[in-house]
Amino acid sequence: SEEKSLNFIEEIVEADLKSGKYSSIVTRFPPEPNGYLHIGHAKSICLNFGLALKYGGKTNLRFDDTNPVTEDTEYVDSIKDDVRWLGFEWAEERYASDYFEQLYGFAVQLIQKGLAYVDDSTSEEIAMQKGTPTQPGTNSPFRDRSVEENMTLFAEMRDGKYKDGEKVLRAKIDMGHVNMHMRDPIIYRIKHAHHHRTGDTWCVYPMYDFAHGQSDAIENITHSVCTLEFIPHRALYEWFIEQLGIFPSKQYEFARLNMTYTVMSKRKLLQLVNEGFVNGWDDPRMSTISGMRRRGYTAPAIREFCDRIGIAKRDNLIDVGLLEFCVREHLNKIAVRRMVVFDPLKVIITNHNGETEMLSSENNPEDLNAGNRDIPFSNELFIEKDDFMEVPSKKYFRLAPGQMVRLKSAYIIRCDEVVKDAVGNITELHCTYIPESKSGSDTSGINVKGTLHWVSAKHAVHAEVRLYDRLFKVEDVGNAEGDFKDHINTDSLEVIPNAFAEPALAMDSAEDRYQFLRKGYFCLDKDSTPEKLVFNRTVTLKDTWAK
């Protein structure tokens, strides 16, 4: 097999194993349960779980649930679902909230070492004290409280004696530090809020920076991988670990995935849901894992995409076309072929007796084990309206008066007569078929250039088909002018309410993947009922956006 070069994080892991720094590795995927996972998270999942799989270590799924206001169990469940669907299993399911008592203890330790203090300043005052990147900050008037006073006040904060914002606990580091994050950061705040797991037990909650590294250390995480915006937090991450003398987890940063024509922040995705621009988190146009899954993307295709884009050290914008390419490539191998007519034109075969004739067609020419299916043929068929031209142009190889085409896996037909209604609209075509031209045993000697998909009118099943386009009109939504919602493509969903499908489709299940011949790749949507099938177009057959 082809030797792939290591990414920079794999290089670090290999060096750490080789030097004996670690005998095995522990990674974690740490989502905040405040929304559904998106394709950017898939990148992080593939990286973290992939490292452990490759080097024989383990990966924890840790819910970073330190902000009671925005978090919810619905999100926890969806996240677990999505990680499993992507094909990964975690070693342990952990919650930062399980460590609240331990984290509180760490804060007490800092107070006792004279490294943390309770501050009564308002958030505005603290912001002023911080200074600017080019100017040092100033000390808070509460910075020199005694250890005893801090111990009492912090205990009172926990006991609920104070209102939200009345007091905070700050690390006592250096208000003149070049790194703004080191200027006495807030590590605990008061929040009288109900937590999705700990209920009303707590009214003080640790800040992200005080929870993340310590949670890593508690779990003996060896390589804590996060995205580039955490580079300035790394000094603080290390400072806490050092002062507390806990397991020396190390933070490494890689570039977050950004993709064209989409947004990926949970905050923005939540707005799309709440303001009705899409129909829920799993709307097939969303960049969420659940949306992509509903749309028919496959987990192997998403993993392949994450693998191909690699691990970068600089922010970049990945072409969504690459993801679609990976999806198309996988679906071409596994999708069963079916025929569906979206916009029907009736064809009467005048020389056919009308009895149902069963024809056979391969399910997937890419997969010899996929077998065949039966397709009924009769004297009334539907073809696609735009596969007929009354006055054809020169290179038109589809159907036209006097012209012949092959019906896929069936016969060659010739158009003899165009039937119109009183106002001149074409209502049906009268055609003859060539009985000797049956696919697989064609002795007619006739060569035709066009092959059309079709269905037998009386055997066809009805289906709604949903065609999706990009949700945004601009490539780089994150850097486009104005509000991101100004760039929404209002034509991103086209519904074909009544398509005609060959009957084999009615017997398939939601896990199946289809190629509707000449139309694209499709899957059954969860809105389907036995009475009404609904299909989503997963991706077109070719990149229709290629310039």
Active site residue 10: no
Three-state SS for 519?
A: coil
40 marked as binding residue: yes
Token representation of residue 219? 């779990």
The listed partner (Mg ion, ligand ATP, none) that binds 448, CB under 5 to 8 Å by sort, is: none
Of 10, 32, 149, 362, which is the active-site residue? 32
Are the C-beta atoms of 347 and 381 separated by less than 8 Å?
yes
Binding partner of residue 40 among ligand ATP, Mg ion, none, CB under 5 to 8 Å per kind?
ligand ATP
- For ligand ATP, the closer CB: 256 or 487: 256
C-beta of 64 vs 502, nearer to ligand ATP: 64
Residue 488: is it exposed, middle or buried by C-beta count within 10 angstroms (0-12/13-18/19+)? buried
Do β-strands 404-407 and 451-452 pair in parallel, antiparallel, or remain unpaired?
parallel
Distance CA 231, CA 228 (A): 6
Q: Which residue is nearest to ligand ATP (CB)?
A: 40
191-194: Cβ within 8 A, 24+ apart: 191/68, 191/69, 191/164, 192/160, 192/163, 192/164, 193/68, 193/69, 194/68
| Residue 328 bears catalytic tag | no
Nearest to 243 by CA among 107, 98, 64, 101: 107
Residue of the chain from 86, 118, 218, 226 that contacts ligand ATP (CB under 6 A): 226
Give yes or no for a contact between 205 and 191, defined as CB atoms under 8 angstroms apart: yes
Q: Is 243 in the site for ligand ATP (CB under 6 A)?
A: no
- Is the distance from CB of 297 to CB of 325 less than 8 angstroms? no
- Ligand-binding annotation for 526, yes or no, is no
Looking at beta carbons only, is 290 or 536 nearer to ligand ATP?
Answer: 290
282 is in an annotated binding site: no
Of the candidate residues 26, 43, 65, 537, the single one contacting ligand ATP (CB under 6 A):
43
Please indicate if the annotation marks 543 as binding a ligand.
no
DSSP SS3 for 417: strand
Catalytic site residue from 28, 145, 167, 256: 256
| Residue 233 known to bind ligand | no
By the rule CB under 6 A, 291 interacts with ligand ATP: no
Residue with smaller CB distance to ligand ATP, 32 or 319: 32
Residue 290 in the binding site for ligand ATP (CB under 6 A): no
Beta strands in 121-203 (DSSP E): 168-171, 186-190
CB 427 to ligand ATP: min, Å: 53
Instruction: By CB under 6 A, tell whether 41 contacts ligand ATP.
Output: yes
Q: Which is nearer to Mg ion, 264 or 331 (CB)?
A: 264
**Shortest distance (Å) from residue 9 CB to ligand ATP:** 13
Q: Which of 16, 32, 319, 357 binds ligand ATP (CB under 6 A)?
A: 32
479: annotated binding-site residue? Answer: no
Where do the H-state alpha helices sit in 264-420? Answer: 266-274, 289-295, 299-309, 320-334
Buried b / exposed e over 156-177, threshold 16 CB at 10 Å, is ebbeeebeeeebbbbbbbebeb
State the chain's maximal CA–CA distance in angstroms.
102
Residue 34 marked as a ligand binder: yes
Rule CB under 6 A: choose which of 70, 138, 227, 439 binds ligand ATP: 227
Q: Which does 253 bind (CB under 5 to 8 A by kind): ligand ATP, Mg ion, none?
A: none
Q: Does 196 bind ligand ATP (CB under 6 A)?
A: no
At a CB cut-off of 8 Å and minimum separation 6, what does 438 contact?
Answer: 359, 410, 411
Both tokens of 260, joined, read: 């064209």
Q: Is 70 in the site for ligand ATP (CB under 6 A)?
A: no
Nearer to ligand ATP, 32 or 120 (CB): 32
40 touches ligand ATP (CB under 6 A): yes
Please state, in angstroms and as integers, the Cα–Cα distance from residue 307 to each residue in 7, 288, 319, following that order.
Answer: 10, 18, 14
Q: Name the one range near ligand ATP by CB under 6 A: 67-75, 123-131, 262-270, 458-466.
A: 262-270
Strand extents, DSSP E, 255-407:
257-259, 316-318, 336-338, 340-341, 344-349, 357-362, 372-377, 380-384, 404-407
Of residues 64 and 282, the one with the C-beta less far from ligand ATP: 64
Examine the residue annotation and report whether 294 is marked as an active-site residue of this protein.
Answer: no
Report if residue 256 touches ligand ATP, rule: CB under 6 A: yes
Least spacing, CB of residue 179 vs ligand ATP, in Å: 20
Of the candidates 172, 250, 266, 337, the residue annotated as catalytic is: 266
Identified binder of ligand ATP from the candidate list 13, 25, 30, 413, rule CB under 6 A:
30
Question: Would you say 32 or 238 has its CB closer to Mg ion?
Answer: 32
- Distances, alpha carbon 8 to alpha carbons 252, 358, 412, in Å: 10, 58, 58
**Whether 129 contacts 137, CB under 8 Å:** yes
Q: Does 86 bind ligand ATP (CB under 6 A)?
A: no
Is 507 marked within a binding site?
no
Three-class SS of residue 9? helix
Tell whether 438 is in a known binding site: no
Contacts with Mg ion by CB under 5 A lie at 32
H or E, element range at 152: helix 147-159
Given its phi and psi angles, is residue 343 left (phi above 0), alpha (psi -120 to 50 degrees) or beta?
Answer: beta
Other CB atoms within 10 Å distance of the CB of residue 34 = 16
C-beta neighbour count of 214 within 10 angstroms: 25
Binding site annotation covers 498? Answer: no
Q: Which of 181, 266, 328, 513 binds ligand ATP (CB under 6 A)?
A: 266
Binding of residue 415 to ligand ATP (CB under 6 A): no
Cα distances from 453 to residues 337, 340, 506, 523, in angstroms, run: 11, 7, 18, 18
The piece of 38-46, 89-97, 431-439, 497-505 that touches ligand ATP (CB under 6 A) is 38-46
Hey, which residues are catalytic here?
Answer: 32, 256, 266
Which residues are known binding-site members for ATP?
A: 32-34, 38-44, 227, 256-257, 264-266
Binding residues for L-glutamine: 64, 208
Q: Which residues are annotated as a binding site?
A: 32-34, 38-44, 64, 208, 227, 256-257, 264-266
- Site residues, ligand ATP (CB under 6 A): 30-32, 40-41, 43-44, 64, 226-227, 256-257, 264-266
